[in-house]
Copies of this chain bind each other. A is one copy, B any other.
Amino acid sequence: MALTGELSLAIVRLARRLRGRRTSKVVSLTQLSALSTLHHEGPMTPGALALAERVQPPSMTRVIASLSDLGMVRREPHPTDGRQAIVTLAPRGSEVINAELEAREEWLSARLEELSIDDRDTLAAAVPIIKKIIIGGPDDR
Protein backbone atom coordinates (compact mmCIF):
# COMPACT_ATOMS: atom_id res chain seq x y z
CA MET A 1 0.00 0.00 0.00
CA ALA A 2 1.52 3.28 -1.10
CA LEU A 3 -0.12 5.00 1.86
CA THR A 4 2.28 3.23 4.20
CA GLY A 5 5.37 4.89 2.80
CA GLU A 6 3.78 8.28 2.35
CA LEU A 7 2.39 8.28 5.84
CA SER A 8 5.67 7.11 7.40
CA LEU A 9 7.64 9.88 5.78
CA ALA A 10 5.06 12.54 6.58
CA ILE A 11 4.92 11.48 10.22
CA VAL A 12 8.66 11.34 10.83
CA ARG A 13 9.21 14.67 9.12
CA LEU A 14 6.49 16.41 11.07
CA ALA A 15 7.73 14.87 14.31
CA ARG A 16 11.20 16.17 13.47
CA ARG A 17 9.85 19.68 13.08
CA LEU A 18 7.85 19.44 16.27
CA ARG A 19 10.75 18.11 18.32
CA GLY A 20 13.51 20.52 17.32
CA ARG A 21 12.08 23.30 19.45
CA ARG A 22 13.09 22.24 22.94
CA THR A 23 14.54 25.54 23.97
CA SER A 24 12.65 27.99 26.16
CA LYS A 25 9.98 25.44 26.87
CA VAL A 26 9.23 23.94 30.24
CA VAL A 27 9.00 20.32 29.17
CA SER A 28 9.88 18.26 26.10
CA LEU A 29 7.26 16.51 24.02
CA THR A 30 8.36 13.19 25.50
CA GLN A 31 7.86 14.54 29.00
CA LEU A 32 4.58 16.16 28.05
CA SER A 33 3.35 12.91 26.57
CA ALA A 34 3.95 11.09 29.85
CA LEU A 35 2.33 13.90 31.86
CA SER A 36 -0.67 13.75 29.58
CA THR A 37 -1.09 10.02 30.16
CA LEU A 38 -0.94 10.53 33.92
CA HIS A 39 -3.47 13.30 33.58
CA HIS A 40 -5.92 11.19 31.63
CA GLU A 41 -5.46 7.89 33.40
CA GLY A 42 -4.45 8.86 36.91
CA PRO A 43 -1.56 7.60 39.09
CA MET A 44 0.10 4.40 37.95
CA THR A 45 3.25 2.36 38.32
CA PRO A 46 6.33 3.02 36.16
CA GLY A 47 5.68 -0.24 34.34
CA ALA A 48 2.10 0.69 33.50
CA LEU A 49 3.24 4.10 32.31
CA ALA A 50 5.88 2.51 30.08
CA LEU A 51 3.23 0.24 28.61
CA ALA A 52 0.80 3.12 28.06
CA GLU A 53 3.50 5.17 26.33
CA ARG A 54 4.78 2.13 24.45
CA VAL A 55 8.37 2.51 25.56
CA GLN A 56 10.62 0.10 27.40
CA PRO A 57 10.82 0.35 31.20
CA PRO A 58 14.35 1.81 31.32
CA SER A 59 13.25 4.61 29.00
CA MET A 60 10.38 5.45 31.28
CA THR A 61 12.67 5.39 34.32
CA ARG A 62 14.57 8.29 32.80
CA VAL A 63 11.48 10.26 31.86
CA ILE A 64 10.07 9.87 35.36
CA ALA A 65 13.39 10.90 36.91
CA SER A 66 13.52 14.06 34.80
CA LEU A 67 9.90 14.94 35.58
CA SER A 68 10.52 14.29 39.26
CA ASP A 69 13.52 16.63 39.17
CA LEU A 70 11.24 19.28 37.70
CA GLY A 71 8.69 18.74 40.46
CA MET A 72 6.08 17.64 37.93
CA VAL A 73 5.47 14.17 39.34
CA ARG A 74 5.94 12.41 42.68
CA ARG A 75 6.96 8.85 43.35
CA GLU A 76 5.08 7.19 46.18
CA PRO A 77 5.48 3.73 47.66
CA HIS A 78 3.10 1.05 46.53
CA PRO A 79 0.76 0.15 49.39
CA THR A 80 1.24 -3.61 49.19
CA ASP A 81 4.15 -4.39 46.86
CA GLY A 82 7.54 -3.08 47.87
CA ARG A 83 8.95 -3.56 44.38
CA GLN A 84 6.57 -1.18 42.75
CA ALA A 85 5.99 2.54 43.03
CA ILE A 86 3.12 4.83 42.19
CA VAL A 87 3.80 7.83 39.99
CA THR A 88 1.45 10.72 40.61
CA LEU A 89 1.01 14.03 38.86
CA ALA A 90 2.24 16.74 41.26
CA PRO A 91 0.43 20.08 41.51
CA ARG A 92 3.18 21.66 39.43
CA GLY A 93 2.59 19.06 36.72
CA SER A 94 -1.14 19.61 36.71
CA GLU A 95 -0.67 23.34 36.37
CA VAL A 96 1.67 22.99 33.47
CA ILE A 97 -0.04 20.40 31.39
CA ASN A 98 -2.95 22.11 29.71
CA ALA A 99 -1.14 25.36 29.12
CA GLU A 100 1.75 23.44 27.57
CA LEU A 101 -0.46 21.20 25.49
CA GLU A 102 -2.08 24.14 23.82
CA ALA A 103 0.60 26.77 23.93
CA ARG A 104 3.84 24.82 23.58
CA GLU A 105 3.70 24.55 19.85
CA GLU A 106 3.07 28.07 18.68
CA TRP A 107 4.73 26.91 15.52
CA LEU A 108 2.17 24.17 14.90
CA SER A 109 -0.71 26.42 15.95
CA ALA A 110 0.39 28.99 13.42
CA ARG A 111 0.58 26.34 10.70
CA LEU A 112 -2.90 25.10 11.57
CA GLU A 113 -4.26 28.65 11.37
CA GLU A 114 -3.02 28.85 7.81
CA LEU A 115 -5.07 25.85 6.75
CA SER A 116 -8.62 25.85 5.44
CA ILE A 117 -11.40 24.76 7.73
CA ASP A 118 -11.80 21.61 5.66
CA ASP A 119 -8.14 20.76 6.09
CA ARG A 120 -8.35 21.24 9.83
CA ASP A 121 -11.44 19.05 9.94
CA THR A 122 -9.58 16.34 8.07
CA LEU A 123 -6.69 16.51 10.53
CA ALA A 124 -9.06 16.47 13.48
CA ALA A 125 -10.67 13.36 12.02
CA ALA A 126 -7.25 11.77 11.50
CA VAL A 127 -6.15 12.18 15.12
CA PRO A 128 -8.36 9.44 16.60
CA ILE A 129 -7.39 7.14 13.74
CA ILE A 130 -3.72 7.73 14.52
CA LYS A 131 -4.46 6.92 18.14
CA LYS A 132 -5.96 3.62 17.06
CA ILE A 133 -2.78 2.84 15.13
CA ILE A 134 -0.59 3.70 18.12
CA ILE A 135 -2.52 1.39 20.40
CA GLY A 136 -2.65 -1.42 17.86
CA GLY A 137 -0.11 -4.13 17.28
CA PRO A 138 2.21 -6.05 19.55
CA ASP A 139 3.49 -4.51 22.75
CA ASP A 140 6.85 -6.12 22.27
CA ARG A 141 8.34 -4.01 19.60
Contact = CB atoms under 8 A, between A and B. Distances in A.
Contact of A110 (B10, B17, B54, B137): B137
B101 A5 contact: yes
Nearest to A125: B122
Interface residues of A, number: 60
Nearest to A102: B5
Contact of A11 (B14, B32, B100, B102): B14
A108 B122 CA distance: 20
Interface in A95-141: 100-102, 104-105, 107-115, 119-120, 122-127, 129-134, 136-137, 141
A62 interface: no
Contact of A105 (B8, B10, B30, B125): B8
Q: Which 3 A-B pairs have the closest CB atoms?
A: A5-B101, A15-B15, A126-B126
